[in-house]
Amino acid sequence: MIAGAIGGGLAFGPAAARPRGERLKVLYNRAAQEHYPDQNPVIVIPGILGTRLVDGASGQTVWGAFDGLSPMSSDKSNVRRLALPFGDQSRLSGVAADLNPIAVLDRVSVKVLGVPFQLRQYAQILSTLGAGGYRDETLHPTGLDYGPGHISCFQFPYDWRRDNAETAAALKRFMDEKRLVVADGYRETLGYDVAPESIRFDVVAHSMGALMFRYFMRYGGQPLDTYGAGPTLDWTGAAYVDRAILVAPPNGGSAETMRFLLEGQDFGRPVAPRYPPSVLGSFASIYQLLPRPWASPIDGVDGERLFDARTWIARGWGLAAPDQDAVLATLLGDVTDPLRRRQIALDRLQDSLTLARRFHAALDSTEKAPAGFEPFLIAGDNVPTPERFRFDAGRGRLSPVSLVPGDGAVTRSSALFDHRTPSTWRPRVQSPLRFRSVLFTEQDHLGLTQTDLFSDNVLFWLLEEQRGERLERYAL
């Protein structure tokens, strides 16, 4: 931070330090009070695990609120509820909608030994946009001067277990609905009569949400089938978006995904339950976070074979692990034959791997977005992050053999989609992606959204940085 006097006598220094919210108000409230046509409505897209999921029948929160005494992985009903449903017909295209996405997880409600407390998740992203003058439907920061008008900030909640192309179609429907809402607001509050189809959004997307958003930009709501022709690149989503801030996107995948799929994940017992591999492996989306074949995240396993279920069967990985039958029996309660249960699980595994390869191929083409769209990148580069693992068959565990700069989950090179390797290193980043600006931070995967540096730069890019100066076409 630069000490001294800046604009109108505002001093920054130890004796004049302001609380974060106060400083952001001084910097950005005036810009925030300028609305259409100078500012766009904003949509916040969380990553995997970032939306509260509620059982449609009972109304009970299945993900997003935890009791340290109850929802353990040994609770069969809890396991069954969070898994993406199987069935005798396990193809992903026929998966029923069993849980309702309610809201972006600003905080995770936790109860340990009967004492409630909260863990911050996306609260700072939402409060950052609130500090900038954006209205949010469920989170209303207090003490800020929004001016006589308003502009909307919308959370996009989605079922993060499902195929990202399916979620992209839901995002298109969401944007169509919010265009109508914003047009009504412009007319009633600001006196502008704006055609809904002319309204563009700015987007702040985190982690897997950024990958789904990139698919939406390229293909709109086109499905991504395991069989048949792939989607047609038509840049449908570009008509909806002006500026996008991609936060910690695993553009090249994340090796940590292998740990989730092979070992399951403990989200912090006794605060949160442990989910076994067969539950996490039921999610179509998680395979779409796997690294590209050339990255070879497991020593001794060719990256191409990683997307073939026969590799998983031969090594007893994930849904193919023999010790997962007890959990599969709870997930497929109506299927009493163990061999039939296993075949259903293997069908889901192969479908998910095939769909992941098609998702990667859809994102990896090098065509540039239409002129006028501006992508920004925020990524971590200071936390040692697994790039490659070794699998210990005896223990059934992974151990990292290569750690590189990143945010603990996504490496710096993955966020940049940098194709350089030690044997092909060059001075310049070798990536098909192009960003208008890149910000590197020292925090971890979620923590990088919870700093003043993040808030300050996001608000500057959304509210103050000039637009339309450059007409380059950026790759996305």
Where residue 69 falls among pLDDT bands split at 50, 70, 90? very low
Query: What's the rounded Cα separation, in Å, for the pair 279 and 75?
Result: 13
Q: Which token pair is 15?
A: 């004796």
Task: Note the pLDDT of residue 6.
Answer: 25
Region 88-109: mean pLDDT is 74
Give Dmax (Cα) for the chain.
Answer: 77
Where residue 72 falls among pLDDT bands split at 50, 70, 90? very low
Task: Note the pLDDT of residue 267.
Answer: 67
Query: What's the rounded Cα separation, in Å, for the pair 312 and 127?
Result: 43
Q: Which token pair is 23?
A: 């400083």
Q: Is the pLDDT of residue 333 over 70?
A: yes
Q: Is 130 helix (H, G, I), strand (E, B) or coil?
A: helix
Q: Is the pLDDT of residue 32 over 90?
A: no
Query: What's the rounded Cα separation, in Å, for the pair 162 and 335?
Result: 23
Task: Note the pLDDT of residue 241.
Answer: 96
Q: Is the pLDDT of residue 357 over 60?
A: yes
Query: What's the rounded Cα separation, in Å, for the pair 185 and 152?
Result: 9
pLDDT digits (tens, 9 = 90+) for 275-286: 899 999 999 999
DSSP string, 323-383: GGHHHHHHHTTT---HHHHHHHHHHHHHHHHHHHHHHHHHHH--PBPPTT-EEEEEEE-SE
Q: State what percent of residues in the chain have pLDDT above 70.
A: 82
Region 91-106: mean pLDDT is 80
Task: Note the pLDDT of residue 189.
Answer: 84
Q: Which residue has the higher pLDDT, 1 or 257?
A: 257
pLDDT digits (tens, 9 = 90+) for 153-212: 899 999 999 999 999 999 999 999 999 999 998 898 888 899 999 999 999 999 999 999
- The answer to whether the CB of 277 falls within 8 A of the CB of 82 is no
Region 16-23: mean pLDDT is 62
* Amino acid in position 64: G
Q: Which token pair is 334?
A: 């109506």
CATH H superfamily, domain 40-464: Alpha/Beta hydrolase fold, catalytic domain (3.40.50.1820)
* Count of beta carbons in the 10 Å neighbourhood of residue 76: 14
Where residue 410 falls among pLDDT bands split at 50, 70, 90? very high
Region 70-98: mean pLDDT is 65
Query: What's the rounded Cα separation, in Å, for the pair 416 and 399?
Result: 25
Mean pLDDT for the chain?
84
Task: Note the pLDDT of residue 63.
Answer: 87
Query: What's the rounded Cα separation, in Å, for the pair 98 and 102?
Result: 13
Q: Which residue has the higher pLDDT, 29 or 390?
A: 390
Q: Which residue has the higher pLDDT, 387 or 130?
A: 387
Task: Note the pLDDT of residue 156.
Answer: 94
Q: How many residues does the chain have?
A: 476
DSSP string, 203-264: EEEETHHHHHHHHHHHHTT----SSS-------GGGGTEEEEEEES--TT--THHHHHHHH-
